[in-house]
Amino acid sequence: MHHDRTVTERRLARVLDLRLRPAVYRESLPLDIAVRPVTGEPVPVSEGIGARYEPVRTGALWGPAWSTTWFRISGSVPAAWAGRQVEAVLDLGFGATQPGFSAEGLVYRPDGSPVKALNPRNAWLPITERAEGGEEFVYYIEAAANPVIFDSGSGEDPFVPTRAGGAPPWLGGETAPDTPLYRLNRMDLAVFDPTVWELVQDLDVLSGLMHQLPEDSTRRWQLTHAVDRALDAIDLQDIGGTAARAREVLAPSLASPAHAGAHRVSAVGHAHIDTAWLWPVRETVRKAARTVSNVTALMDDHPGFRFVMSQAQQLAWLKEQRPEVFARVVEKVSTGQFIPTGSLWIEPDTNLSGGESLVRQFVHGKRFYLEEFGVETEDMWLPDTFGYNAALPQIMKLAGIKWFLTQKISWNATNPFPHHTFWWEGIDGTRIFSHFPPVDSYNGDLSGADIGHTERNFRDKGAANRSLVPFGYGDGGGGPTREMLARAHRLENLEGSARVEMESPEEFFTKAQAEYPDAPVWSGELYLELHRGTLTSQLATKQGNRRSEHLLKEAELWSATAALRTGLPYPYELLDRVWKTVLLHQFHDILPGTSIAWVHREAETVYAETARELGEVIDSAQRALAASGAEGTARETVFNAAPHTRDGIPALGASPRARAARPVEPHPAQGGGFVLDNGLVRITVDTRGLITSAYDLTAGREALAPGTVGNLLQLHQDFPNQWDAWDVDAFYRNTVRDLTDADEVVAVPGGIRVVRGFNASRITQVLRLEENSRRLDVETDVDWRECEKILKAAFPLDIRAAESSAEIPFGHVRRPTHTNTSWDSARFEVCAHRYLHVEEPGWGAALVNDSSYGHDVTRDIRPDGGTTTTVRLSLLRAPLFPDPDCDRGEHRLRYGLVIGAGLRDAVREGYRFNVPERVVSGGAPVEPLVRASGGDVVIEAVKLADDRSGRVIVRLYEAAGGRARTTLRTGFPLVGARITDLLERELTDEPAPAVDGQDIHLTLRPFQILTLCLTPGV
């Protein structure tokens, strides 16, 4: 017999798309439609339903960008449809290429209760499962007109600059013209044919499987013949009457069981909803309501369906703003179908967020789940962020986390990650069982392509046989669909396919760890070889976050101190609220700078209000403390919130100071330029405003490499191949313009001012060197008007450094300065928080900053045989997508070069640079609540316990990567001390710390994080 397989495959595709899918709704009639546009921001549901509506017809245009339009649909079921299943088919004007990002709607009953969402691949609404005929109905649709800013499925460049991401005109923004974006395509009442629908699902699954099997496999040919016979059984003029016959033909093929050793797939319902991205935060609340309404409705009809939601903030919004939707969540959590997961307040960026912020992500996320649902989450679900710092395993463990899941590392542009299931080891040695879904997507649809790729791609074959697939459309797509559940049912035990079972993450991880307890170990950071521009884009957002993090810790420190010393009430509610606000804005498309303009301008406003509120808290506490001393003391008190003593002011305390350290005055240099000299280091600046010498007078050596200059500002072309705000591609280095021309180089009181104009931009820098300091400060004001450029500040150092040490949360990570391997070469832009340090035995230098994260380190051999290690800080970018004005405007930032610095110096100067002293009138010294003496131990947080017991929480860590013995002395009578987890619950498996009066004796492992709960005495 001669048979062309491709003929059958092409026949199947055409019959499915042109005949069978349309035949699911074989009879239809138009609905009555009325409309009510909303001017301005969304209105409450009751207001939307109760408004006056005007008649409208299919084909009508609606929805200026970011607006809301309410539709009322009504009708009655014809008597002729009695006994049939009836649905409405409602196409608001959906785009064809993506499941979300455009016209989205939520359907309500007249009483305001939600039914389900309308999305591009989920446009049906149940009316009645068995019509009696004559039933009348009315529904309302809240339809959002979200402009399509990014369309990866259009076949065109999706990264086209657009003004559509600005706030709308009614909020004073510059969104695209006020014209309708969408057209009502279809608003019909229709007969749903379940038999035809089931046939479509049968053929969909078998078609997907066929295309994944080898062309010469027996199973593929068996399926080809079965499909051929089924298509023959269908009368295309009577599809409804012959669909059952075709299903009978396919039944044996669908009943053939999978091989005993088939790969096992845990299918987890999921909808990745970016908390802000190409839409503002307020729209995310509605996206969450739509998705939750969708999935809880599906759960009514599919008891085995389980769905995870991984951001507590989104559920908190529903509780506050959409209690009727949240009630459905509570109901389905109780049945085990809706599964709170992930343990985080939101899914944050884990490169840029500070250590204490990551702690609070777990604290607030886990507490919400515990308090609202009685659920103790034990996993970290973070599929989509742009790299994972190496402190996370320990932070996870201290929060009670057993398992970690992400997917993003599959986006690596250079090196495929070698494992899908593995133990991830952090800088302190903590290991967490981890999984990367080999489906390479967090928006899976359980198609044949998904399942086939999962099995082929799984890199731990033989040793392990399980993987997880998160399935469901995210970002407004409504989550899983009934078609996906049909696929899952058919793939439970199907020959030729992996076996698919709907499970929870806990069930998957429990089975996977039992199967593969000796999984391989990956040690250190999970560096994403892509999206490196996120370390620099949207400087104002990053500055707001950095400053908010430090202000929060200051507010807690001084409020706790004032509460114990003066009885000032501790601001629990305010601090809780502000922490959650800051955590929200650490979402992985806000803090990295990859959202639309509306999001970032709103974030700047939020950060300004945060600074104001926290400033008032700090000021109130400090004034209470400074005024509590005896009369006749000094007139001013200097507060030092940094964890190291500074100019005689104790760490975490305050005292009068006779005289503050002052900047040294510049004096003319021979041949022109100026010199700053404080007896420790000598800085020479030439007539171009460039540093020609940074000499360590103590060590007797030059910091800069021969023939080079320091603080060299460099401008590069920055036009990546894709993902403009996200990416910096390595070829940016091929073109560089050194900014060596100066408009002005003059001495000013306490420094040297250098002004450079280039293109339409202008940079003003003041170089300062304080008395008794090895740190040269560079205060920088930039009027940045560039387009598709990146600005860097370079320091070529005369150091042969094999590695650089970059600060990450609760420690640092060492990275090679060479490019021996493709892994080393791919790290051409790296993250550092407050410092980046390089050294050779006996001498080093550090670059510290107050708001920048992107760095690069390169190493070159000079003709004289010496080694130049160049450390560069990325200051500003200018991408055009998704915010065409990204970073353009005026900025103020600071960075500094610490000369002759060891790692301990880098840690100390990084904190000092970011936590300024505060001077308050009053005069009373303030003894710190706690002091650490001995070892490289840093006290990161001091606060009152969240349970309002009055106990003091102290979080500290070992910062140098070595063992440390330290004594923690309290500034109050101490009744008891215990070690807790991050949620301030006692760790019973940890030995109680040794307490001697007000001294607590501690031994810390390298990079160990320790949280203590201290009970003050009377």
Known catalytic residues are: 384
β-pair type (421-425, 521-523): parallel
The rounded distance, in Å, linking the Cα atoms of 353 and 588 is: 10
SS3 content of the chain, % helix, strand, coil (to 5): 30, 30, 40
| Residue 979 burial by Cβ neighbours in a 10 Å radius (0-12, 13-18, 19+) | middle
Residues in the chain, overall count: 1018
Give the pair of three-digit tokens for residue 682. 């000598």
Beta strands in 446-534 (DSSP E): 466-471, 499-502, 521-523
Contact 535, 352 (CB under 8 A): yes
The Cα-based distances of 267 to 63, 502, 826 in angstroms read: 36, 5, 33
Greatest alpha-carbon pair distance for the chain in Å reads: 109
The rounded distance, in Å, linking the Cα atoms of 886 and 539 is: 9
The rounded distance, in Å, linking the Cα atoms of 664 and 675 is: 10
3-state DSSP of 254-293: HHCCCCCCCCEEEEEECCCCCCCCCCCHHHHHHHHHHHHH
Give the pair of three-digit tokens for residue 223. 């399926």
Which helix (H) or strand (E) segment holds residue 868: the answer is: strand 867-877
Give the pair of three-digit tokens for residue 423. 């133990």
What is the CA angle 235-240-245, rounded to 5? 65
Q: Pinpoint the alpha helices (H) of 627-725.
A: none
The Cα-based distances of 121 to 472, 479, 484, 560, 880 in angstroms read: 11, 10, 11, 53, 31
Closest residue by Cα to residue 972 from 926, 1017, 924, 925: 1017
Q: Is the peptide bond between 882 and the residue preceding it cis, with omega within 30 degrees of 0?
A: yes
β-pair type (136-145, 103-108): antiparallel
The rounded distance, in Å, linking the Cα atoms of 311 and 327 is: 17
Centre a 10 Å sphere on the Cβ of residue 59 and count the other Cβ atoms it contains: 10
Beta strands in 426-558 (DSSP E): 431-435, 466-471, 499-502, 521-523
Closest residue by Cα to residue 918 from 654, 662, 663: 654
β-pair type (264-269, 499-502): parallel
Which helix (H) or strand (E) segment holds residue 140: the answer is: strand 136-145
> What is the C-alpha R_g of the chain?
31
Closest residue by Cα to residue 89 from 19, 137, 17, 25: 25
Closest residue by Cα to residue 654 from 641, 644, 663: 641
Contact 121, 854 (CB under 8 A): no
Task: Rounding to the nearest 10 degrees, give the CA dihedral for residues 598, 604, 605, 610.
Answer: 140
The rounded distance, in Å, linking the Cα atoms of 140 and 71 is: 6
Give the pair of three-digit tokens for residue 363. 């604290």
Number of H helices, E strands in the chain: 19, 53
Give the pair of three-digit tokens for residue 138. 């009315």
Centre a 10 Å sphere on the Cβ of residue 492 and count the other Cβ atoms it contains: 16
Give the DSSP letter of residue 351.
T
